[in-house]
């Protein structure tokens, strides 16, 4: 019997994706035949409808800028995805399309691995799908947080050193500084950072963004997005393979 199971990633300008190699290595390690993982680079979200017409499609990951827009195309959301308002993993079963959020799982693992007790307030830089998952996890763990974006009350124009001093966890959720634009960096008052701070930059390519380099120069503890990425991918694999009803 020829069982062809297709997985993949939807996003925009995503040739640099880690997911393809991660899952192809997994298929090899588990000696799984008939599985493939493809990059679906979409310029507009409605192009996903073409994907859905493929009967071999088991599911896919979702990245920037479609984590919120994909919701309109799904039949159901997991509780977490509903609360977060963003989806990064879709399972297709008997024609039913269900959205999950495994970013929350990945971020929580990262946070709990590095967080110290005195770090109980956070600034979230960015307001997209990833930022929503981060805020959900911080709330869940009793860490009060504020969003910093272009249009928020605290924004990139008025964020000052004193504010940064008061928030001991900083989570960088924007794509600024991602490969190939590795010189780019958010406008951020790095002088407010101290060795008391934990900086988590969700970007994994490059390993050390300009943001992380600038933060570590102030003695802050810095973590990139690689572990979160691995963990959310493992969780996605679980969803695709252990949801057989």
Cβ-contact 211, 204 below 8 angstroms = no
Task: Pull the structure tokens for residue 77.
Answer: 């959301």
Active site residue 132: no
Alpha helices in 74-117 (DSSP H): 79-84, 103-114
Running DSSP on this structure, what letter comes out for residue 120?
-
Bridge partners of residue 10, in order along the sequence? 40, 62
Instruction: Give me the count of residues in the chain.
Output: 245
Distance CA 226, CA 231 (A): 9
Give the list of residues 6+ apart from residue 145 with CB closer than 8 angstroms, or none: 121, 122, 123, 124, 134, 135, 138, 139, 169
DSSP assignment of 9-36 equals EEESS-TT-SHHHHHHHHHHHTT--SEE
HSE of 119, CA atoms in CB hemisphere, 13 A: 24
Which residue is catalytic, options 67, 97, 115, 235?
Answer: 67
Give the list of residues 6+ apart from residue 179 with CB closer than 8 angstroms, or none: 16, 205, 206
- Catalytically active residues, by annotation: 67
């Amino acid at each position: 019997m020829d069982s062809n199971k297709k997985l993949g990633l939807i996003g925009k300008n995503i040739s640099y994706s880690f997911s393809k190699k991660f899952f192809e290595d997994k298929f090899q390690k588990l000696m799984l035949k008939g599985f493939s993982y493809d990059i679906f680079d979409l310029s507009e979200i409605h192009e996903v409808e073409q994907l859905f017409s493929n009967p071999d499609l088991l599911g896919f990951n979702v990245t920037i800028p479609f984590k919120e827009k994909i919701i309109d195309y799904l039949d159901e959301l997991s509780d977490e995805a509903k609360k977060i308002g963003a989806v990064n993993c879709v399972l297709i079963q008997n024609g039913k399309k269900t959205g999950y959020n495994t970013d929350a799982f990945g971020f929580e693992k990262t946070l709990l691995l590095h967080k110290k007790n005195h770090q109980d307030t956070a600034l979230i830089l960015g307001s997209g799908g990833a930022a929503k998952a981060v805020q959900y996890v911080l709330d869940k763990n009793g860490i009060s947080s504020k969003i910093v974006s272009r249009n928020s009350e605290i924004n990139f124009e008025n964020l000052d050193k004193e504010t940064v001093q008061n928030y001991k966890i900083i989570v960088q959720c924007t794509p600024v500084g991602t490969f190939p634009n590795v010189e780019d960096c958010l406008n951020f008052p790095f002088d407010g950072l101290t060795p008391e701070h934990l900086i988590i930059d969700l970007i994994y390519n490059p390993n050390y963004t300009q943001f992380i380099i600038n933060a570590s120069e102030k003695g802050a503890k810095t973590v990139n997005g690689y572990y979160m990425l691995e963990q959310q991918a493992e969780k996605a694999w679980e969803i695709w393979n252990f949801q057989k009803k």
